A and B are shown apart, each in its own frame.
Chain A
Amino acid sequence: MALLQIAEPGQATAPHQHKLAAGIDLGTTNSLVATVRSAQAETLPDEQGRHLLPSVVRYFADGVDVGYTAHEQATRDPLNTIASAKRLIGRAVSDIKSLGKGLPYEFVKTDSRVPRIHTMAGDVSPIEVSAEILKVLARRAEDTLGGELSGVVITVPAYFDDAQRQATKDAARLAGLHVFRLLNEPTAAAVAYGLDRGADGIHAIFDLGGGTFDISILRLNKGVFEVLSTGGDSALGGDDFDQVVAEWIMEQAGIADDADHKVLRQLMLDARKAKETLSYAESTELDIAIPGGGHWLGQLNRETFNALVDPLIRNTISACRRALRDAGEDVEEVQDVVMVGGSTRMPRLREKVGEFFRQPPLVDIDPDRVVALGAAIQADVLAGNKPDNEILLLDVTPLSLGLETMGGLVEKVIPRNTTIPVARAQEFTTFKDGQTAMVVHVVQGEREMAEHCRSLARFELRGIPPMVAGAARIRVTFAVDADGLLDVEAEELSQGVKASVTVKPSYGLDDEEITNMLQASFEHAEEDLEERRLAEARVEGMRVVEALQAALASDSEKLLNAQERRQIETALQELADVIATSDADAIDAQAKHVEQVCEFYVERRMNSGIQQAMAGHNINEFE
């Protein structure tokens, strides 16, 4: 048996060597990073033993500050300190206006669809702000684990739309991270809980974070988590509870609505503190500085607080009811309700959720950490560290995907709560004689009119052969991958004219913007872009080598004849040789060549696995 020797210092050669992987909870208020060590998932603290990283980035002329110090300076330097970037990510400038008064930033008018905030360091997009947070967390993990991360799992609210997911992935790309998977936050929480309990049945995950709310109903069946439905509000969170309290204070203290940034920011902090105090105390004293001098002293008790927040809580309960209905389950079927997110510490919320589900909600795992812990477990699985692992997550599309048709109506192509990955095709036709082009407008949402849905992308299919109205057959195919990201393709069937887009442009960065940003960041770090590319090509090449070596070791005897095996080994050896050189293009090319050579083998392996699994059921049913 030929052996492949690859001399690449610091790189793994053994196929089953433990790979470093991390789970990142990129939150609105706080973020965390976690990893699995000695079969135990744990969140990682900073040097001062703090696990949470406030999701706050302060920009200076020559650098950034992320976390606690930035958070503490937020009121003193509100324009250069960006908090809650998650509320802005993947959104257009027009969306942000409606998001509210609580955002004390200077938005810049740009040509780009991505909103930018003016800071001392120049104009930054929410994607870049998120990338700074991701970099700090990834560095923390690498310092703790003593090596480079092979990949990460980043969590997103289940209710995030395509643009928000895409933007989150862009942020990871800017931070130089390989994303194994974007994982829905409630599903991550279920993983963290489910592993401990192993209880088959229906579970509800109630996740109220700083800026988003999600409810997911899922079924656990022998290690397979099937998400049955998901719902929520990507613009409702703890911040909104702070907001109603802040508004109440303003009214009581006679502070005007148009007070300046610093005053508003301070008020939000006071409001949050009051909310947190009321989680354990019956009332809280308030001492509010009035702009222009003086103080307002007052008191907020739980009763008043409850009256202020009840309308918001009611919205979350309505979403729970809808999610249960979508799942086709009754409230009696729900075995337990898991609480996730710092905002679920509010006693009033726990009381109301308990009332609706007719049982006290579970709060055993720290609601701030549970998502990161689940993400870490999943990252460990996806890195290939647990080949015999039984856990599998089957997630769904949170919102319906469709196309705008005549009269601005939406034709749904993939309804919400469809298990992903999924592909669906729909046929359309022309409405005018001789029509040669067609605009494909892709939207996401539940409303009937396209203008009320989220516009994801718009592209044109040209070159349709002229025919009478209704004669052309145009097939539009929607494909959603395991990250929940959408690809759309349109094809005229009689002539085979094609057009396709990876849905991305509307509110994401285009490739050029990303390249520019990457370049700019490398200039800062004085790192060589070429070097980075070579490193990436090597990692990717090694991944191919390792994956195939592991495969050969496990089943080549059974599935390959001597000649086939020799052929694969030769190609692999050539790849190993070229990885040792410094030619990134050659490495990429050879890696591609290896994949081509091995195509039949990969297919054979998968089929043989399936055959075995199905044979386990009932041999008589098979040919």
Chain B
Amino acid sequence: MFDLSKNHFELFGLPVSFIVDGAALGERYRDLQRLVHPDRHASGTGQEQRLSLQQTTRINEAYETLKNPVTRAQYLLSLHGIDMQAEKETTRDIAFLTEQLQLREELEQARHAGDTEAVLDDLMNRISTMIKKLVAQMAMQFEDPIPTNLAAAREAVRKMQFLNKLLSEAESLEAELEDMH
């Protein structure tokens, strides 16, 4: 039954795990949408339309959450009873923070570098590698969800938020440059 109390994973008939089969998730998302989307109920009764809107909204939310590793990790943590204060939490790992400062400086300097594109490319590659590493770590931590592992995953989420933000800033700089020529 379509039960609004089901968790996001159960909604798509997927095991509760950090490792998600993206293709299966997409396929089930589309299958559910084919059934419940408001366009499928445009000639139904008002109540049917409301129900359809409500369920589609829920499915979209679940899909969005599971698609992205950061929101997926946060959601998994919440299923384990850990509610993160989203972006208000920050890491206290000094080495990591120092590295962030350096990366940020590099990004600033890239703007004025002669070969901005190459510098930016290299920077973005390094950030992406760091993100991938964290994702791989989280996958292992969630496989064995003992408290220390969950705490480590929480810390990884905090770091991911830093890295994602930096990456998107690098991307906007790249976009700015592309628009100029």
Say yes or no: is B34 at the interface (Cβ < 8 Å to chain A).
yes
In A578-623, the 8 Å CB interface with B consists of 594-596, 598-599, 602-603, 606-607, 609-611, 613-614, 616-618, 621-622
- The reply to whether B51 and A602 form a contact with Cβ atoms under 8 Å apart is yes
User: 14 A–B contact pairs at CB < 8 A?
Assistant: A181-B42, A226-B30, A325-B175, A383-B42, A481-B38, A543-B43, A547-B48, A595-B46, A598-B45, A598-B47, A606-B2, A609-B35, A610-B35, A613-B35
Say yes or no: is B13 at the interface (Cβ < 8 Å to chain A).
yes
In B30-45, the 8 Å CB interface with A consists of 30-40, 42-45
Cβ-defined partner of A394 (8 Å) among B35, B37, B42, B57 = B37
Closest A residue to B26 using CB positions:
A221
Q: What 0/1 pattern do residues 56 to 84 of B give for CB contact below 8 A with A?
A: 11001101100000000000000000000
- The reply to whether B60 and A421 form a contact with Cβ atoms under 8 Å apart is yes
Cβ-defined partner of B47 (8 Å) among A421, A481, A599, A607 = A599
Say yes or no: is B52 at the interface (Cβ < 8 Å to chain A).
yes
- The reply to whether B37 and A392 form a contact with Cβ atoms under 8 Å apart is yes
Query: With a CB–CB cut-off of 8 A, which chain A residues contact B115?
Result: none
Cβ-defined partner of B34 (8 Å) among A224, A318, A421 = A224
Q: How far is the CA of A481 from the CA of B46 in the complex (A)?
A: 14
Say yes or no: is A346 at the interface (Cβ < 8 Å to chain B).
no
Say yes or no: is B171 at the interface (Cβ < 8 Å to chain A).
yes
- The reply to whether A595 and B47 form a contact with Cβ atoms under 8 Å apart is yes
Query: With a CB–CB cut-off of 8 A, which chain B residues contact A224?
Result: 30, 33-34
- The reply to whether A421 and B57 form a contact with Cβ atoms under 8 Å apart is yes
Query: With a CB–CB cut-off of 8 A, which chain B residues contact A383?
Result: 42-43
Q: What 0/1 pattern do residues 305 to 345 of A give for CB contact below 8 A with B?
A: 00000000000001001100100000000000000000000
Query: With a CB–CB cut-off of 8 A, which chain A residues contact B63?
Result: 419
- The reply to whether A606 and B57 form a contact with Cβ atoms under 8 Å apart is no
Closest B residue to A623 using CB positions:
B10
Query: With a CB–CB cut-off of 8 A, which chain B residues contact A482?
Result: 37-39, 53, 56
Cβ-defined partner of B45 (8 Å) among A325, A544, A618, A621 = A544
* CB within 8 Å for A419 and B60 given contacts A392-B40, A606-B55: yes
- The reply to whether A418 and B64 form a contact with Cβ atoms under 8 Å apart is yes
- The reply to whether B38 and A421 form a contact with Cβ atoms under 8 Å apart is yes
In B1-39, the 8 Å CB interface with A consists of 1-2, 13-15, 24, 26, 28, 30-39
How many chain A residues have a CB neighbour from B under 8 Å? Answer: 54
Q: Which of B15, B34, B39, B178 has the most CB of A within 10 A?
A: B39
Say yes or no: is A548 at the interface (Cβ < 8 Å to chain B).
yes
Say yes or no: is A222 at the interface (Cβ < 8 Å to chain B).
yes
- The reply to whether A547 and B37 form a contact with Cβ atoms under 8 Å apart is no
Q: How far is the CA of A544 from the CA of B41 in the complex (A)?
A: 12
In B128-161, the 8 Å CB interface with A consists of none
Query: With a CB–CB cut-off of 8 A, which chain B residues contact A392?
Result: 30, 33-34, 37, 39-40
- The reply to whether A423 and B51 form a contact with Cβ atoms under 8 Å apart is no
Measured between C-beta atoms, what is the minimum distance from A384 to chain B in Å?
A: 4
Query: With a CB–CB cut-off of 8 A, which chain B residues contact A384?
Result: 42-43
Query: With a CB–CB cut-off of 8 A, which chain B residues contact A613?
Result: 31-32, 34-35
Q: How far is the CA of A325 from the CA of B34 in the complex (A)?
A: 27
Q: How far is the CA of A226 from the CA of B33 in the complex (A)?
A: 11
- The reply to whether B57 and A617 form a contact with Cβ atoms under 8 Å apart is no
Closest B residue to A319 using CB positions:
B179
How many chain B residues have a CB neighbour from A under 8 Å? Answer: 40
Query: With a CB–CB cut-off of 8 A, which chain B residues contact A609?
Result: 35-36
Q: How far is the CA of A606 from the CA of B45 in the complex (A)?
A: 13
Closest A residue to B12 using CB positions:
A614
Say yes or no: is A96 at the interface (Cβ < 8 Å to chain B).
no
Measured between C-beta atoms, what is the minimum distance from B179 to chain A in Å?
A: 5
- The reply to whether A479 and B26 form a contact with Cβ atoms under 8 Å apart is no
Query: With a CB–CB cut-off of 8 A, which chain B residues contact A136?
Result: none
* CB within 8 Å for A602 and B13 given contacts A321-B178, A422-B60: no
Measured between C-beta atoms, what is the minimum distance from A554 to chain B in Å?
A: 13
* CB within 8 Å for A621 and B13 given contacts A321-B175, A392-B40, A595-B45: yes
Say yes or no: is A180 at the interface (Cβ < 8 Å to chain B).
yes
Say yes or no: is A145 at the interface (Cβ < 8 Å to chain B).
no
Measured between C-beta atoms, what is the minimum distance from A516 to chain B in Å?
A: 27
Measured between C-beta atoms, what is the minimum distance from B34 to chain A in Å?
A: 6
Say yes or no: is A393 at the interface (Cβ < 8 Å to chain B).
yes
Q: How far is the CA of A618 from the CA of B13 in the complex (A)?
A: 8
- The reply to whether A606 and B13 form a contact with Cβ atoms under 8 Å apart is no
Q: How far is the CA of A399 from the CA of B38 in the complex (A)?
A: 21
Q: How far is the CA of A378 from the CA of B42 in the complex (A)?
A: 11
* CB within 8 Å for A548 and B45 given contacts A224-B34, A321-B175, A618-B13: yes
Say yes or no: is A382 at the interface (Cβ < 8 Å to chain B).
yes
In A122-154, the 8 Å CB interface with B consists of 151
Q: How far is the CA of A340 from the CA of B88 in the complex (A)?
A: 45
- The reply to whether B30 and A221 form a contact with Cβ atoms under 8 Å apart is yes
- The reply to whether A547 and B14 form a contact with Cβ atoms under 8 Å apart is no
Say yes or no: is A381 at the interface (Cβ < 8 Å to chain B).
yes
Closest A residue to B179 using CB positions:
A318
Extra 5 A-B pairs, beta carbons < 8 Å, given A221-B30, A596-B47, A614-B13 = A321-B179, A419-B63, A420-B60, A423-B57, A482-B39
Q: Which of A423, A609, A614 has the most CB of B within 10 A?
A: A614
Measured between C-beta atoms, what is the minimum distance from B122 to chain A in Å?
A: 18
In B108-137, the 8 Å CB interface with A consists of none
Cβ-defined partner of A606 (8 Å) among B33, B52, B64 = B52
Q: Which of B15, B36, B38, B48 has the most CB of A within 10 A?
A: B48
- The reply to whether A606 and B60 form a contact with Cβ atoms under 8 Å apart is no
Measured between C-beta atoms, what is the minimum distance from B101 to chain A in Å?
A: 23
- The reply to whether A602 and B33 form a contact with Cβ atoms under 8 Å apart is no
* CB within 8 Å for A606 and B42 given contacts A321-B179, A392-B34, A394-B33: no
Measured between C-beta atoms, what is the minimum distance from A600 to chain B in Å?
A: 10
- The reply to whether A622 and B43 form a contact with Cβ atoms under 8 Å apart is no
Query: With a CB–CB cut-off of 8 A, which chain A residues contact B26?
Result: 221
* CB within 8 Å for A180 and B42 given contacts A321-B178, A325-B171: yes
Q: How far is the CA of A394 from the CA of B30 in the complex (A)?
A: 9
Query: With a CB–CB cut-off of 8 A, which chain A residues contact B46?
Result: 544, 595
* CB within 8 Å for A603 and B51 given contacts A421-B57, A423-B61: yes
Q: How far is the CA of A580 from the CA of B117 in the complex (A)?
A: 73
Cβ-defined partner of A382 (8 Å) among B32, B39, B48 = B39
Q: How far is the CA of A419 from the CA of B57 in the complex (A)?
A: 9
Measured between C-beta atoms, what is the minimum distance from A538 to chain B in Å?
A: 15
- The reply to whether B44 and A547 form a contact with Cβ atoms under 8 Å apart is yes
Closest B residue to A480 using CB positions:
B57
Cβ-defined partner of B42 (8 Å) among A321, A382, A616 = A382
Q: How far is the CA of A220 from the CA of B52 in the complex (A)?
A: 22
Query: With a CB–CB cut-off of 8 A, which chain A residues contact B52?
Result: 606
Cβ-defined partner of A322 (8 Å) among B1, B24, B57, B175 = B175
Measured between C-beta atoms, what is the minimum distance from B43 to chain A in Å?
A: 4
Q: How far is the CA of A603 from the CA of B40 in the complex (A)?
A: 14
Measured between C-beta atoms, what is the minimum distance from A615 to chain B in Å?
A: 9
Query: With a CB–CB cut-off of 8 A, which chain A residues contact B171?
Result: 325
Measured between C-beta atoms, what is the minimum distance from B59 to chain A in Å?
A: 9
Query: With a CB–CB cut-off of 8 A, which chain B residues contact A547?
Result: 43-45, 48
* CB within 8 Å for A481 and B53 given contacts A613-B32, A621-B15: yes
Closest 6 CB pairs of A and B: A384-B43, A382-B42, A482-B38, A595-B47, A224-B30, A610-B2
